[in-house]
A = this chain, B = another copy of it.
Amino acid sequence: MKFTNIIKRKNSAINFANKGLILENDINITNEYYINADIALIYKKPTPIKVVKVDYPSRSMVRIKDAFFETPSTLDYNGVYKGYYLDFDAKECNSKTSFPLSNIHSHQLKHMEKVIKHGGISFIIVRFNLLDKVYILFGEDISKFINENKRKSIPINYFEKKAYIVNLSYLPRLDYIKIIDRYIGGLKK
């Protein structure tokens, strides 16, 4: 398990280089580790598609012959950890100085607010590619920034103040649950 994952990660890193999928791949293998080690149960949701045309090559088979990807109205990942509902997204950013808010759709922001309202934990994991840094910024701090500022991007110093650094390691690759533990520690439930 350890080896295959590391190998998988290496291959993926090559395939995904410059495609903005390094973070996604790191989170996916971290989630796989969490599931196998019975730490948490978190999955990436499939991207929704709109099917236009299907074929039936045999009685019991459906083959999609025309379809397109739809914009998801929720976030990419959700699941359960210690009884808490987690709901989050992964975003890569190629600026050194700020995170453009255009990366988060307005319906995704509303979704984050609803998650929090219903007692879940919502956040984004942001990788600043050029700084080689990964941060977790919680939904509450995103809403706060948007409500108090008219800016179209969140400056890096807001991340330095409000977000939490996630360090890389071998296994788990991106141990973001550690940060969730600190968050839960500060919560009353």
Contacts and interface: CB of A to CB of B under 8 A. Distances in A.
A48 B93 CA distance: 27
Interface in A39-58: 40-41, 43, 45-49
B46 A46 contact: yes
Given A63-B68, A68-B64, A118-B41, A85 B74 contact: no
A84 B85 contact: yes
Contacts of A49: 46, 49, 64, 67
Interface residues of A, number: 37
A41 B43 CA distance: 17
A46 B65 CA distance: 18
Nearest to A111: B41
Interface string A120-164: 100000000000000000000000000000000000000000000
Nearest to A119: B83
A115 B80 contact: yes
Interface centre among A48, A81, A85, A189 (most CB of B within 10 A): A85
Nearest to A78: B78
Interface of A: 35, 38, 40-41, 43, 45-49, 61-69, 74, 78-85, 87, 111, 114-115, 117-120, 189
Given A80-B119, A81-B118, 17 more contacts: A35-B114, A38-B117, A41-B114, A43-B74, A46-B48, A62-B68, A63-B67, A63-B68, A64-B69, A79-B85, A80-B87, A80-B115, A80-B118, A83-B84, A83-B85, A84-B119, A85-B120
